[in-house]
Amino acid sequence: MDTTITNLATAIKAAHKIVFLTGAGVSTHSGIPDYRSKTGLYAASAAPEYLLSHDNLQDHPADFYEFVTQRMYYPDAQPNLIHQEIAALCNDKGELITQNVDGLDKKAGNQHVIEFHGNLYDLYCQTCAKRVTYAEYARDFHHAKDGGIIRPRIVLYGEAIDSSKSDRSVAAIAAADLIMIVGTSFRVYPFAQLLQYRSAAAQIFAINNEPIAAPEIHMIQMDALAAFTKLKEVLNEC
């Protein structure tokens, strides 16, 4: 059912524990395009699901490196109003579970973030397991010390979610009385399955350009930045 920003603001004020579930639509406003979008350099190339897979990293590490460095790393990107508002609410009474791997929620000061799919800037060498800086990775995907292949600690297609992260996410969802889905069409599994662990009393609101197919959702079908700009005004008034 459709609802309004005013209804959402009322629910936020009343909530004891809010959980946010976010996706690419939050970070596009920081200049980070959704790598799944069919525009750009790779429109006619292999599917992103293959380029960003465990198999591609192992079999064609140069292709993997080219894809992630050209399509996913935006080291100068800054958090936008959505990241900031979510951080303020999380630091007050909430938790964020994000599919985004760009690290912008932590950059925004959010102290309650579960990076469900990892973080692009958390890099290590597959041979010696040592941490590597982004500056080193930007120069070469081979570790200077031993020639090992460097990779980001993100969940690739064909890899499992870190079980401690899924456990923490399930616990957060179960404890929430308000769940807000923002900037994601909510089609990536197992992320989208998290909703099944919600408490019966939890209300679910979603802010997204496209409608989301999930039961009992209060839908605000609009751009996330426009919605949060309005939400900030309404929250400040009441």
Exactly one of 125, 172, 181, 225 binds Zn ion (CB under 5 A); that residue is: 125
| Binding flag, residue 150, Zn ion (CB under 5 A) | no
The answer to whether residue 117 is catalytic is yes
Exactly one of 48, 148, 152, 183 binds Zn ion (CB under 5 A); that residue is: 148
CB of 209 to Zn ion, least distance (A): 42
Exactly one of 41, 128, 138, 238 binds Zn ion (CB under 5 A); that residue is: 128
C-alpha–C-alpha distance, residues 233 and 223, integer Å = 16
Q: Is-cis flag, bond preceding 33, omega within 30?
A: no
| Binding flag, residue 140, Zn ion (CB under 5 A) | no
Q: Using the rule CB under 5 A, give the single segment among 29-37, 81-89, 103-111, 146-154 that binds Zn ion.
A: 146-154
Amino acid code (one letter) for 175: A
Sign of the Cα pseudo-torsion (94, 178, 224, 96, in order): positive
Exactly one of 2, 55, 146, 216 binds Zn ion (CB under 5 A); that residue is: 146
Query: Is residue 207 classed as helix, strand or coil in its secondary structure?
Result: strand
Nearer to Zn ion, 140 or 233 (CB): 140
DSSP, res 111: S
Exactly one of 71, 117, 142, 143 binds Zn ion (CB under 5 A); that residue is: 143
| Binding flag, residue 132, Zn ion (CB under 5 A) | no
Strands (DSSP E) found in 99-216: 113-115, 118-125, 131-132, 150-154, 178-182, 203-207
Nearer to Zn ion, 136 or 177 (CB): 136
With b for 16 or more beta-carbon neighbours within 10 A and e for fewer, the 145-155 pattern comes to eeebbbbbbbb
CB of 122 to Zn ion, least distance (A): 15
Nearer to Zn ion, 112 or 142 (CB): 142
Nearer to Zn ion, 127 or 229 (CB): 127
Query: Is residue 115 classed as helix, strand or coil in its secondary structure?
Result: strand
Q: What are phi and psi for residue 111, nearest 5 degrees?
A: -100, 0
Residues that bind Zn ion (CB under 5 A): 125, 127-128, 143, 146, 148
